[in-house]
Structure 1
């Protein structure tokens, strides 16, 4: 699969709201990116918030996430009786990169692709979820197994686990790969702006979403 390596991708790990807070980056990292950032379009009028950026070994920004709706916290799927389910959608922007030499010139970095966006979105959703019947001490093992599954699924976008979904990007219809699970939904596609898009969420239907370039990322500071 032509995708960012899992080490370089810096996928989020799960430690609840504390992890979300500690992983939060200032807008500075987003401003350093040489590519445009995407979020939900103007039809979404709820809260928007920065999450984190991922960088290569040389410090170049390669991807990042923008949250929409309720800020998610790690919780078992069962939740507490009567507890409202969080409603959120996270948009992941991934720079479209060909295979290229590493900063020290000693090797090649893997290319990024739609699969890169699909994997980052898949593990992003997992980072805020675990089965309600599972003991917290087993979560690391569960997360490792599910991360491997997300990797395999992202490597097989034409497989039976995925369907196709058409959603607007900058006002024009675009095709996305889409799948649902008991934890939420994940989708991934590409844009004409030279980036790949991934998204994940729960409590908000993916079918009514649209995406557009964020005109002023500094406004999120």
Structure 2
């Protein structure tokens, strides 16, 4: 599959910077990672008026920024009781993953080959990102790692089969232009993935917020998020 490595995909996990947080060294490091990227970052467009916060970037072995995520809404936590007494989501969030579009290429140190990135890369990062905030209530701590390994493998296989029956299509605005996305739902939330005219791939995942009303836009000033 033309996708980022599973090690690199861990960059989809949350960072420590928050749009409402203090100017801490950890927050500055997170912003610095985003500023090193050679591609534009995407988030929800201005119609979303809730909190926005930086998550984390993923880099290759030579330090090149390959992808990163921006959160919107409630900062999610890993906990089994994500539903309230009425069955509604306690947390409402959406994370947007931006992935640089790259062909198969030599690594910076010349010792190997880096995988190409594609829409499947964005789908994999979004799927694994959603799993990072999921913990079925019937599992205890000792079993969660096994469950996460199994679900992560399933997410990888699903990302490799975007034309399969698990995915549907959804058109959402990107910089005001209707753009096709691959979309799927599960009991844990939703995931979508597509490409933009600016040459990057987009993934997104969330819970408690409908994907059908989302729109994406280039982030004009990433430093405003930290």
TM class by smaller structure? over 0.9
* Pairing 1:33-182 to 2, within 5 Å after superposition: 33-76=37-80, 79=83, 81=85, 85-182=90-187
Measured in 2, the distance between the counterparts of 1:182 and 1:97 equals: 32
The TM-score normalised by the length of structure 1 is: 0.92
Q: 1:98 to 1:70 in 2, by over 3 A?
A: same
* Pairing 1:9-48 to 2, within 5 Å after superposition: 9-12=9-12, 20-21=15-16, 26-48=30-52
Give how far 1:80 is off. Answer: 5.7
Measured in 2, the distance between the counterparts of 1:103 and 1:46 equals: 39
Measured in 2, the distance between the counterparts of 1:152 and 1:69 equals: 29
Q: Provide structure 1 residue ranges, at least 5 long, that are not aligned to the other structure.
A: 14-18
The TM-score normalised by the length of structure 2 is: 0.90
The structure 2 residue matched to 1:187, chosen from 169, 188, 192, is 192
List structure 1 segments (4+ residues) > 3 angstroms apart after TM superposition: 19-25, 77-84
Measured in 2, the distance between the counterparts of 1:78 and 1:60 equals: 35
**CA RMSD, 1 decimal:** 1.8
Q: Provide structure 2 residue ranges, at least 5 long, that are not aligned to the other structure.
A: 18-25
**Is 2:55–2:69's contact at 8 Å kept on the other side of the alignment?**
yes
